[in-house]
């Protein structure tokens, strides 16, 4: 009976995108705001405390490893990717009334399997809840793309390099349409952090630019593209992860800046996005001691650490919701990142984050039955904290009201049919079998390619079809060698040799480079250490230096292609031509000559092809490229200006 009453209050909450009104960030239907508020309020009033707390939790069922099994000879129990639900996960969903779930690469095998998985997640949840799930994915495009069989995209920095703000909308529409086809209604994108620290180990090409105004414009355009497909955009990582020297996945970053300093730089894109209609923002696990000075004794070091933004009421409630006027949903970054697990007790993380103003919590990713048990018990644990007075029910009600308001805006509350039919499966598969998205992404990749240097007519290659060309990959991008083979197949040129430099084949690489008529060197800097020949990440740079020097002695030229962070442009000042692509992803399975058969980022392939075809490269630098000092460290002196 209670379930029927709840359906009465929620049914007909919106006409899904009928006469959609896109003021700033789209996604709103014609229902008036007052009607939305009234219906959501009635729904909240009829929910139990357990149901309300459940709405605030986002689990991720990624890998199943049953640690309860006995194994022989100390072997680990088998690990399997969760591409379909087992009965324990279904029961967990039915019990906990979760507000959402997050998918990772391990959950994706193909379009049909994913569609069925998402439908099963929703159906299992529906057995006890009238409120469908947010189904989220980190589909930023480029370097961070989870849907392996889909359109990988070119990444944010490459989008900005096109010089066309509309490119962000176009790329986001592709991601949004593919998400929607699979039943995914939320994308944890775009990143609107300003990459003002070129040594940043975690943001880099995930950022549009080191200029906050440029980030603002492209970020808003990306938001619009997602919303236009009915996919909720999630801005990250508030209040800004671009000026860190530590990755919060493995360490605990600290930014020693005042609130005024953040307002003058990092907060500009967030304020612009909020003014534009932002509906969901993700927090950063970063310490800001000048803003939040409350401390906690680290569980691993016993030293005092500052509460990160994720647990700071000053940052989330006073600044984001108060000063900046954000009335949407705040979601934490994942709670299994090193910044959190190395320093805080799990129960305290939940309590502090909710009290700080976080509306939804991304729970530690399930990779074994121990973490699964923690996930299955988190609602009960949190409910008890509410009953004990550690968390106010008023804070819970505020969070759930925000969550349901967002679900109502996107028509999610009205969805109740998650049956899988052949017609639905065909419609889903058709989205991924068309070449339209792949062709558009290739076009955008070509538009982003940036030629920062070209001397001695090195670019494009001359008479390449009648000559021998070596394409040599640094060890740091050995997993990208397939891009060379792909372009070789696409061009059908016999005289192309594709190699990767290793610790053992330096002399062979030098020999091949001297024999070749043309040489293209592929460099991949994913951190500052990749620029230093003395490191494991950067030893190939020495090989490249020697190749460039030896060829110059014989009057021959060298093209260098950067396939991730553009800052390696400063590492090879003697290269005759330098091309920036801003992105690439691993390519262990080489697609056919038409680029079909594997999801891949087209940036690098487009750059290699351009060397042979002589395309005009029109990309514009979206960041300042600094010079290096003699120790191969980035300096404050600019080599190539934005």
pLDDT tens figures, 563-581: 999 999 999 999 999 999 9
pLDDT of residue 24: 41
Give per-residue pLDDT as tens, 65-88.
999 988 777 788 999 999 999 999
User: To the nearest whole percent, how much of the chain has pLDDT over 70?
Assistant: 93
> Residue 32 — pLDDT band, cuts 50, 70, 90?
low
Instruction: State pLDDT tens for residues 445-478.
Output: 999 999 999 999 999 999 888 899 999 999 998 9
Q: How is residue 556 written in tokens?
A: 């021959």
pLDDT over 90 (residue 540): yes
Query: For the chain, what are the domain ranges?
Result: 438-640
The three-state secondary structure class of 32 is coil
Mean pLDDT of 536-543: 94
pTM above 0.75, yes or no: yes
- Average pLDDT estimate for 552-561: 97
Confirm whether 333 is a catalytic residue.
Answer: yes
Assess contact for 266 and 212: CB atoms under 8 A: yes
Decide if pLDDT at 366 tops 70.
yes
Q: 444: closest CA among 166, 145, 144, 150?
A: 166
Which of 2-6, 44-48, 113-117, 628-632 is most confident? 113-117
CA separation for the pair 281, 161 (Å, rounded): 25
Q: How confident is the model at residue 492 (pLDDT cuts 50, 70, 90)?
A: confident
pLDDT tens, 510-532? 999 999 999 999 999 998 899 99
Which tens digit of pLDDT belongs to each residue from 338-348? Answer: 889 999 999 99
Token pair for residue 209?
């630019």
Cross-strand partners of 306: 295
Mention every residue, 6+ apart, whose C-beta is less than 8 A from residue 2. Answer: 46
Rounding to the nearest 10 degrees, give the CA dihedral for residues 376, 379, 384, 386. Answer: 160
pLDDT reported for residue 584: 86
Mean pLDDT of 8-19: 37
- Catalytic pick from 120, 249, 276, 342? 249
Spot the catalytic one: 193, 333, 376, 568: 333
Q: Which pLDDT score, from 0 to 100, does residue 246 have?
A: 63
Task: Give helix 540-553 / helix 506-515 axis angle, nearest 10°.
Answer: 30
What digits encode the pLDDT tens for the residues 378-390? 999 999 999 999 9
Three-class DSSP category at 169: helix
- Report how far residue 402's alpha carbon sits from residue 619's, in angstroms, rounded to the nearest whole number: 41
Share of the chain above pLDDT 90, in %: 81
Backbone angles phi, psi at 136, to 5 degrees: -115, 160
Is the sign of the CA dihedral 235, 236, 240, 241 positive or negative? negative
Q: Could you read off the pLDDT of 574-624 as tens digits, one per residue?
A: 999 999 999 888 887 787 766 665 678 899 999 999 999 999 999 999 999
Cα Rg of the chain (Å, integer)? 25
**Would the pLDDT of 287 be above 80?**
yes
pLDDT of 50: 97
Phi, psi of 181 (to 5 degrees): -60, -30
641: left (phi over 0), alpha (psi -120 to 50) or beta: beta
Q: What is the 3-state secondary structure (H, E, C) of 229-271?
A: CCCEECEEEECCCCCCCCCCCCCCCECCCCHHHHHCCCHHHHH
Q: Return the CATH number of 438-640, one of 3.40.50.300, 3.40.50.1700, 3.40.50.1820, 3.30.1330.10.
A: 3.40.50.1700
> How many Å apart are CA 352 and CA 312, to the nearest integer?
8
pLDDT value of position 190: 97
pLDDT per residue as tens digits for the range 397-438: 999 999 999 999 999 999 999 999 999 999 999 999 888 999
For 126-184, write each residue's pLDDT tens digit. 998 899 999 999 999 998 999 989 999 999 999 999 999 999 999 999 999 999 999 99
Q: Is 451 helix (H, G, I), strand (E, B) or coil?
A: strand
Phi, then psi, of 311 in degrees rounded to 5: -115, 15
Tell me, what's the pLDDT at 586? 85
Catalytic residue list contains 138: no
pLDDT at residue 26 tops 80: no
Please give the C-alpha separations between residue 526 and each of 154, 189, 357, 625, in angstroms, as whole numbers. Answer: 16, 20, 34, 15
């Amino acid at each position: 009976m209670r379930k029927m009453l709840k359906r009465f209050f929620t049914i007909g909450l919106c006409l899904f995108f009928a006469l959609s009104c896109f003021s700033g960030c789209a996604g709103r239907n014609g229902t008036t705001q007052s009607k939305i508020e009234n219906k959501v309020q009635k729904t909240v009033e009829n929910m139990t405390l357990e149901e309300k707390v459940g709405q605030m939790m986002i689990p991720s069922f990624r890998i199943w490893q049953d640690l309860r099994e006995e194994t022989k000879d100390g072997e680990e129990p088998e690990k399997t990717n969760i591409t379909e639900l087992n009965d324990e996960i279904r029961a967990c969903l039915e019990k906990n009334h979760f507000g959402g779930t997050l998918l990772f690469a391990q959950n994706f095998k193909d379009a049909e399997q994913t569609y069925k998985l998402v439908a099963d997640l929703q159906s299992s949840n529906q057995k006890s809840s009238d409120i469908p799930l947010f189904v989220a994915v980190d589909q930023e495009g480029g370097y961070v793309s989870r849907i392996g069989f889909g359109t990988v995209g070119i990444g944010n920095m490459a989008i900005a390099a096109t010089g066309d703000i509309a490119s962000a909308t176009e790329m986001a529409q592709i991601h949004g349409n593919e998400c929607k086809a699979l039943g995914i209604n939320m994308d944890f994108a775009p990143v609107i952090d300003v990459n003002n620290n070129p040594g940043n180990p975690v943001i880099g090409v995930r950022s549009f630019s080191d200029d906050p105004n440029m980030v603002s414009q492209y970020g808003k355009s990306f938001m619009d593209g997602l919303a236009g497909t009915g996919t909720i955009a999630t801005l990250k990582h508030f209040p800004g992860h671009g000026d860190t020297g530590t990755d919060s996945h493995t360490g605990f970053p600290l930014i020693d800046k005042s609130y005024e300093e953040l307002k003058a730089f990092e907060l500009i894109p967030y304020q612009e996005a909020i003014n534009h209609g932002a509906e969901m923002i993700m927090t950063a696990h970063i310490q800001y001691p000048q803003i939040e000075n409350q401390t906690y004794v680290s569980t691993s070091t016993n030293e005092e650490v500052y509460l990160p933004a994720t647990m700071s009421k000053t940052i989330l409630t006073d600044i984001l919701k108060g000063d900046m006027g954000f009335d949407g949903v705040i979601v934490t970054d994942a709670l299994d990142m090193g910044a959190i697990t190395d320093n805080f007790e799990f129960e305290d993380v939940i309590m502090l984050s909710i009290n700080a103003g976080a509306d939804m919590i991304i729970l530690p990713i399930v990779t074994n039955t121990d973490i699964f048990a923690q996930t299955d018990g988190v609602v009960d644990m949190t409910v008890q904290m509410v009953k004990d007075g550690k968390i106010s029910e008023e804070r819970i009600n505020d969070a759930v009201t925000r969550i349901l308001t967002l679900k109502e805006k996107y028509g999610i509350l009205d969805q109740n049919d998650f049956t899988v039919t052949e017609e639905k499966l065909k419609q889903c598969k058709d989205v991924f079998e068309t070449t339209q998205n792949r062709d558009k992404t290739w076009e955008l990749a070509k538009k982003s390619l940036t030629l920062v240097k070209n001397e001695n007519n090195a670019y494009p290659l001359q008479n390449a079809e009648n000559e021998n060309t070596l394409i040599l990959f640094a060890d740091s991008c050995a997993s990208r060698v397939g891009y060379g083979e792909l372009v070789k197949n696409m061009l059908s040129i016999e005289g192309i040799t594709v190699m990767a430099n290793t610790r053992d084949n330096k002399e062979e690489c030098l020999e091949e480079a001297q024999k070749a008529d043309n040489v293209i060197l592929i460099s991949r800097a994913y951190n500052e250490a990749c620029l230093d020949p003395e490191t494991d990440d950067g030893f190939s740079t020495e090989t490249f230096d020697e190749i460039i020097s030896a060829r110059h002695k014989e009057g021959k030229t060298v093209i260098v292609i950067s396939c991730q962070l553009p800052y390696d442009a400063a590492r090879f000042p003697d290269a005759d031509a330098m091309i920036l692509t801003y992105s690439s992803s691993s390519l262990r399975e080489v697609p056919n000559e038409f680029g079909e058969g594997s999801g891949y980022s087209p940036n690098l392939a487009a750059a290699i092809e351009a060397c042979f075809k002589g395309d005009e490269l029109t990309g514009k630098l979206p960041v300042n490229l600094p010079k290096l000092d003699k120790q191969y460290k980035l300096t404050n002196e600019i080599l190539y200006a934005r």
